[in-house]
Amino acid sequence: MFDLAVIGSGPGGYVAAVRAAQLGAKVAVVEARDLGGTCLNRGCIPTKAMVKSAEAYKTIVNGEGYGVRVKEYQLDFPSVIQRKQEVVNRLVTGVEKLFSSNGITCYRGKASIPKPGMVEVSGPDAARLETRFTLIATGSGHALPPVPEAAIRRAITSDEALCLPKPPESMLVIGGGVLGVEFACIYAAFGTKIDIIKRSPLVLPPVDEELSKRIMPLLARQGIKVNAGIFIKDIQVSGDGAKRVIANTKEGKEVTFEAEEVLIAMGRVPDFGGLDLAALGIEHDSKGIKVDNRMRTSLAGVYAIGDVVGKYYLAPVASREGIIAVEDMFSTGSDMDYKVVPQCVFSSPEAASVGFTERAARDAGYSVKVSRFPFSANGKAVALGEAEGMVKVVADGETGLLLGMHILGPHATEIIHEAAIAIVLGGTAEAIATMIHAHPTLPEAIMEACHGIMGHPIHLAKVR
């Protein structure tokens, strides 16, 4: 008899399992595929390993700009893929050790829930588990365009994009969200000609609209062309083996795109893991399983977290939801709070957002004041040779309360957390502006943008 059976071992499932074990629960985890889920094996971690390889290659290619001339260099792409896999293996081994050290039993196989309080495992570790609580953390799958199944098979997803034998000469990326832009930047750095095709006019919907507009020319500078207002009808293979995408423009005109590879990167959709949710009476729809603020489903004793809930397709959100769920089971518990969720894009340059966008703040009824500070006026960014982009601060014009921050530029995904902490603590722009920041550092741009809320950024020339 287990206290908890977790279905899925991604960053939601394994974190929940560890926290439950820390609270004294006897825990089982059922995993149908790879320990660590999509994030560790086919998502966040391997893509960031490839981002680092792309950055290293770009640094060498552009070395003369830093006073370094490298006479002979080459891209060893099989080694890029090998390093990516070594990173993945190391972290998966880490999850295995977490399970072992916390006394968590892992079953390999496909899970089903024949009735409340029971989880059945079919596969290598076939078993019938009795459990007080069940946590569904089955994650998500690829969102696909509305084209025939045969057309889908002619393209690749991010899974295959992480394992290509070589960078293709050209690639069509279907989708301009986080996934599409990250892979576009990775392969553009390796020399692939990139076309992004998408329906909506802007890329990167998580970030503030202004930053989305600002990154478009920066992508173009890398050879990444964004084609908006494109509605895909079919994916074909031409006589010479090239992939051809047949599409319509928003005006109804038929257009075609050709490339060596077509990458479908339209985001994620909930994956219910084959569980018969309807038979169990668990309320859900195509957007995910319905849960309350403690991650409880409509069936007593059954909880759901992560991508399968469909609120945020983000690993850290899944982890936090997992902790909320098991603390509700085995401790006093608290409500899940989505107020502060940093959203990061490992594009080139990076983009990161937290809190309200300018438009959302105005829609919420705030008296909004906005300040911007460019990295071109930040000493560290100039020294790095990465002076593109800016920090944008959204604050309450009456109280100075920090409502949101949006960063496009070097290490945006790291420095956004200064804003996240400030918003969590109910901080003001003035508090950040008057805090002494180390020099020269990138967060000084945050400090200056907050000075701008008070009307006097220091390192920005007045416009006469």
CA pair distance 454, 395, nearest whole angstrom: 10
Nearest residue to 449 via CA among 387, 374, 381: 374
- Percentages helix, strand, coil for the chain (3-state, rounded to 5) are 35, 25, 40
Q: Which amino acid is at 236?
A: Q
CA pair distance 215, 353, nearest whole angstrom: 14
- Residue 447 has which token pair? 């400090």
Rg (CA), the chain: 24
> Quick one: three-class SS letters along 159-176?
HHHCCCCCCCCEEEEECC
CA pair distance 276, 7, nearest whole angstrom: 13
Catalytic machinery residues: 439
Beta pairing partners, 110 = 122
Per DSSP, which regions of 274-413 are E strands?
284-285, 288-289, 302-304, 343-345, 350-355, 368-374, 390-396, 402-409
